Amino acid sequence: MTGAQWDEREKETEGEEEHSDPVVSEPPAPENTAEEEEEEQQEDDGDEEDYHYVYEDEEDDRDSEEKEVKKDKAAIPESQDVDRTLQEVEAVCSLEAETGPCRASMPRWHFDMQQRKCVRFIYGGCAGNRNNFDSEEYCMAVCKRLRVETIILCS
């Protein structure tokens, strides 16, 4: 029954005693035609592209720091760029391994300045510092320049 039909029914029954259940209910919603349902489905499909989810975690903080470093580096003349890059690598790779206060057990890698290599440690999942890499390969890729410079300076 459509809304208009419901109104007509109410007018017809005005003044008549109610013999049915005393609970008054809403009229049922009109059913969509197949064409209307298809249009709604197409609208729903289009909505999926409108949602973008952003999850904040430490990786986001690291990404923003890296973007700031890149932005800062763009303003530095090339002659100073090499020294600054080495300083940035040293700032990260010379930090001690830091498990952090959380209780996850995530195997990670950090660069150990004394051993001049990447060493495995267990990360708790939060806090910590940037000397915290997912793989030994990535750790070495970031810290290898420092490793080479340290070996040359110590020789």
Look up the pTM and report it: 0.46
Residue 60 has pLDDT above 90, yes or no: no
The mean pLDDT of 84-97, rounded to a whole number, is 91
pLDDT value for 74: 47
Judged by average pLDDT, the poorest of 32-41, 54-63, 99-108 is 54-63
pLDDT value for 151: 52
pLDDT value for 52: 43
Query: Tell me: domain 64-154, CATH 3.40.710.10, correct?
Result: no
Cα–Cα distance, 73 to 149 (Å, whole number): 21
> Distances in Å between the alpha carbon of 15 and those of 11, 18, 21, 23, 42?
9, 9, 17, 17, 46
The mean pLDDT of 18-40, rounded to a whole number, is 59
